[in-house]
Amino acid sequence: MSDKPENFSGPGDFIDLLERSGYSWPKAIAGLTAIDKASVPQGTTVMAFHFKDGVIVAGDRRATAGNAIMYERCDKVIPIDDFSLMAIAGVPATAFEMARILSHNFEYYRRSQLQPLSTEGKIRALSKLLKDNMGLAMQGVGAVSPIFASYDQREAKPYIYFYDILGAQFEIQTHTATGSGSPVIRGILEYEDLWGAQKLGQRTLKEAAQLAIRLLQTAGQFDSATGQGRPEDKIYPVIASITDQGYRFMPEEELAVLFQESTKRK
């Protein structure tokens, strides 16, 4: 058994198995020179930041196509394994397919190699999928800009990585956001970490979740593609955390109470 699970190509690589079985990631569409992006659903806005016990990952629920609202209950935070989450901005169909392949890849490695894939291996696996997707991304029909968050059990440490659409990865020490509402969110997160009552990494899960709710509500004020929570319709942001216990999504009942507390005007 290899002592370097980050070298994930080979017998434990599910993506390699798919390719040897005849599956290949869709390439650029021949003859397609332009496409009306208003016809392609897009998902926004997502964020991740470190809190006291791990990482919080959150996103709004709206999917749009141009100026049209296509769906108000899109789940943009996706579990990949027990200790990893992927948050998506971009084309949901492409992102969901990437998430499915990653999930199978991580589980296939765990079962075939009798150990979990390392954090470095997980990070590289997503980068490979994004690089393979470059053709569709450049044509405007499959662009995805994800955030990957994982808790490394060996190091007892949480990680956040941001990716561009070409597969370049960047480790995030404090916070990140992507999607059309992200400029507002990133600015507020930076302010909160520098001059807030507490640094982001010192906040409790409840405090972090309240901040995430307020950030998404604020982004929705300035960005029409970011959906605000609507308690009257039971539409709340997706909020999940990753700690040494694994990932946990806040249930709707908990979100309802937290949303009311977080958005109450003083």
* pTM (whole model) above 0.85: yes
User: Residue 6 pLDDT > 70, yes or no?
Assistant: no
Tell me what pLDDT residue 66 has. 80
Q: What is the pLDDT of residues 112-125, one digit of tens each?
A: 999 999 999 999 99
Q: Does domain 41-261 have CATH number 3.60.20.10?
A: yes
Instruction: Give the catalytic positions in this structure.
Output: 44
Long-range own/partner contacts, residues 140-144 (CB < 8 A, 24 or more apart): 140/34, 140/35, 140/37, 140/40, 141/29, 141/32, 141/35, 141/40, 141/91, 142/26, 142/90, 142/91, 142/93, 142/94, 143/90, 143/91, 143/94, 144/88, 144/89, 144/90, 144/91, 144/94, 144/95, 144/98
Tell me what pLDDT residue 118 has. 94
Q: What is the pLDDT of residues 198-255, one digit of tens each?
A: 999 999 999 999 999 999 999 999 999 999 999 999 999 999 999 999 999 999 999 9
User: Residue 8 pLDDT > 50, yes or no?
Assistant: no
In the chain the first and final C-alpha atoms are separated, in Å, by 59
Domain boundaries, the chain: 41-261
Instruction: Return mean pLDDT, the chain.
Output: 89
- Token pair for residue 243? 């700690």
Return the number of other C-beta atoms located less than 10 Å from residue 115's C-beta.
Answer: 14
Confidence tier at 97 by pLDDT (50, 70, 90): very high
Q: Which DSSP string corresponds to 118-155?
A: PHHHHHHHHHHHHHHTHHHHHHTSS-B--EEEEEETTT
